[in-house]
Chain A
């Protein structure tokens, strides 16, 4: 089993500061900082257009930042892009494996795009094929693989040169629950072996289960960072009340919310979601004691709904 631990344990595998990227005069990423340690999964969350993929693409060298610095395992990406790329593995959102090669051929071909050349490539390919359950498809073309196995190939390909940092851009989008669970297990194993992983996802459960640290982006800026529970508490509140939107008492509830200066409740199908802290919940209960409602902890879905709203 390979260990992905860093050469310099004190240096984060990714340290990005003040990242800025503009497209056609619009700031898509605006002063983002990222830090990922070896053996950690950093989750990047945000609605569509929040700047997650652009941030990721700058970190793995696909795009050049307009401002800011990126250090990969202690290497300045701008000063030595080649050395930084040698320490980086990338699994893009779309399948970008080479359809002219077999599954095994893809791994071999990928190894040719790195210098210093990965050592013992043949043994490494055999180990990756076995580990990712791809050995029985080794001589097949990738197009015949199911969605789950395609993702496995993408991740295996990103690891052929034994990087210290792995970028996963929505790695389980479009997978069925079983395949998603299997990919999660793979990611968690890689993390435990010491690989630093930066992950973007739309699946809230995925972010909660895999990410030790979350970074929430909105319109290119970081609006919250930290462990998932803390981030939710900061951005949403301690409790989430779920009320029937058609309840006759709703106008009174809305008036109370306005009077208390609370953020407007979110309408979700036939329900209304209202975020409250502890004292707020006590006040609400005393005011609307006869009302039927459900209280639950906030989830990342609530956060996403909140982020999707215009400020």
Chain B
């Protein structure tokens, strides 16, 4: 059982990660544009533009501008979406169309290393993109548009890496089971987009019903967004950060062996 997790630290996983880094480094000038421009555009369009029409929100019985509410949510959303997207679409293309995995599996690299290489890469990219968002938020803070404890954003980067690891394992799960690239619309629009928005990222999620309480209690993205928000807006360490950590570790522990088993069947034809 521990061999599933031990592979994360073995040189073969680093070799796979290194391969992805090498390719990315070559295209960094075009690849870095989306994570740089997307938060600027979203903060301007929703935070400043739409936020101008929205009166101050009441969040935890405190008035807060929509721009300030949105900023921490974007950090959580970026780590989540980048890691998931990489582990779903990009990994599927490498597995199915480019045959990159097959080329790696005829060497000393085994499937568990390919899985960890993909997960580590998706998490690295998710964290780097979150770091870029952090720098954009710092720019907004310094220019006086936002009032955040933005230095705390750098403290949550390890947590964002853990979150990205967990969401990458979820992305790989779908990579392992979708019949074709066209079928990726199903998990993307039925699971990921709803999860991305209904998690206190772009708007507050509240409710007294059993369903909404359970949804929020078990939703790691909600805990991540709220935890970061409390840290950035109120400078408060909080239980959401602990809950998020616990849920992410649980996801990784469960999903890594499942991904490996399903991908073994898909890639190698073995049960």
Residues of A within 8 A of B (CB): 23-24, 60-64, 81-82, 85-86, 90, 92, 94-101, 109-110, 112-115, 158
Contact = CB atoms under 8 A, between A and B. Distances in A.
Interface residues of B, number: 23
Contacts of A92: 102-103, 106
A96 B107 CA distance: 12
B31 interface: no
Nearest to B108: A85
Interface string B4-42: 000000011001001100110000000000000000000
Contacts of A61: 106
A113 B98 contact: no
Contacts of B104: 113
Contacts of A86: 108
A310 B99 CA distance: 34
B99 A95 contact: yes
Nearest to A89: B106
Nearest 10 interchain pairs by C-beta: A113-B107, A96-B103, A90-B106, A85-B108, A96-B99, A96-B102, A100-B23, A82-B108, A112-B15, A113-B109
Contacts of B106: 60-62, 90, 92, 96, 158
B177 interface: no
Contacts of B99: 94-96
B80 to A, nearest CB: 26
B3 to A, nearest CB: 12
Main secondary structure of the interface of B (DSSP, over half): helix
B269 interface: yes
Nearest to A24: B271
- Residue among B12, B103, B110 with the highest chain A CB neighbour number at 10 A: B103
Contact of B108 (A63, A94, A96, A114): A114
B26 to A, nearest CB: 8
A143 B59 CA distance: 55
Contact of B105 (A62, A82, A99): A62
27 contacts: A24-B271, A60-B106, A62-B268, A63-B268, A81-B110, A85-B108, A90-B106, A92-B102, A92-B103, A92-B106, A94-B99, A94-B102, A95-B99, A96-B99, A96-B100, A96-B102, A98-B103, A99-B98, A100-B98, A101-B23, A110-B103, A110-B107, A112-B19, A113-B12, A113-B15, A113-B107, A115-B11
Nearest to A23: B269
Interface of B: 11-12, 15, 18-19, 22-23, 98-100, 102-110, 268-271
- Residue among A61, A86, A92, A113 with the highest chain B CB neighbour number at 10 A: A113
Contacts of A85: 107-108
Given A63-B268, A112-B18, A97 B103 contact: yes
Nearest to A97: B103
A24 B271 CA distance: 8
A63 B103 contact: no
A97 B104 CA distance: 9
Nearest to A157: B103
B15 A63 contact: no
Nearest to A114: B108
A112 B15 CA distance: 7
Contacts of A98: 19, 98, 100, 103
Given A63-B270, A85-B107, 19 more contacts: A24-B271, A60-B106, A62-B106, A62-B268, A81-B110, A90-B106, A92-B103, A92-B106, A94-B102, A96-B102, A96-B106, A98-B98, A98-B100, A100-B100, A112-B15, A112-B18, A113-B104, A115-B108, A158-B106
A61 B104 CA distance: 12
A73 B268 CA distance: 25
